[in-house]
Structure 1
């Protein structure tokens, strides 16, 4: 198995478990979170969980000097920008299917550009955003179909797992390509 395959698989499995944990809080605690934290508090909590759990799952895919706090800072910024882009596009389109697609696009571009700047990628910078958009969209929309097919909490947990595995595979690929472009200079 080559390094790209290993990065995509490891990213998919690790981020998939992290996403499953985050979606479990939605499946079992969404109403409580909205009541006690409000809409924005709930979204900020889910974002923080994705950054902490997802960043920890992806950390083994990066090498020095990116191990530890430096990677968590970059991933935290990238995922936070993704979340802002996704939520803003979604709510501006009034929670429609178009808003979901725009959210996936805007969020993926924001996350990809954070990695481009953080890793100082010069060659084909939009490739990272394209990888993330494809992985994010496949995971989100396939998961959404499963969520619609099954009642809660099963549907929500399936959604979280599929979304996480797909986006995690894309993140694994990004973490394979981006540092290598820097090393090649």
Structure 2
């Protein structure tokens, strides 16, 4: 189930967010980087959640997953100076989407199960997308400065 969700999430995210990467070839570059970093994030989240369960497991998984994803993103852009900002942005915004989505899902479960599950996905996707937007922005500061100088 988790693997199927991750594959769908990767397939739908890349066409929408590839423009976060500056320069040509952003679609393939985003697919490569996001698929690797989201897979690592997913594995870390599953381990955190399975180990502690409930909200503590969710928080542990979110922290471990966003730390791994953040490190992979800064490594890809050689932007280690931004590692703390990247991880913080990913963790805070992803967590907001995750937990607001959970509240939305719980509230809508009484109305319609599929709608409830989709609402969680929308909020989670918005939170992760916002976190990724900031993360890529922080990782590419140097590239933007170099482009502005020319």
TM-score for the superposition, normalised by structure 2: 0.87
Deviations 1:106-125 (A, max 9, x none): 11111111101111103131
Could you say which residue in structure 2 is the equivalent of 1:162?
123
Alignment of 1:2-151 (within 5 A): 42-65=1-24, 67-93=26-52, 95-151=53-109
- The gaps in structure 2 that reach 5 residues or longer are none
Summarize the Cα distance change of 1:61–1:124 in structure 2 as closer, same or farther, 3 Å threshold: closer
Which deviations, in whole Å up to 9, do the C-alpha atoms of 1:39-74 show, x marking residues without a partner?
A: xxx211111111121122111222225513222111
Q: Which ranges of structure 1 fall in alignment gaps of 5 or more residues?
A: 1-41
Using a 3 Å threshold, how does the CA distance of structure 1 residues 109 and 75 change in structure 2: closer, same or farther?
same
CA distance in 1, matches of 2:47, 2:28: 28
Please say if residues 19 and 27 of structure 2, whose CA atoms lie closer than 8 Å, have aligned partners that are also in contact: no
Q: What is the number of residues matched between the two proteins?
A: 143
Q: Which runs of 4+ in 1 moved over 4 A?
A: 182-185
Maintained 8 Å contact 1:121/1:182: no
Where relative contact order (Cα < 8 A, 6+ residues apart) is larger, the structure is 1
Distance 1:68 1:161, change over 3 A: closer
CA RMSD of superposed structures (Å): 1.6
Contact 2:89 2:135 in 1 (8 A): yes
Cα deviation, residue 181, structure 1: 3.4
Compute the TM-score of the two structures, normalised by the length of structure 1: 0.72
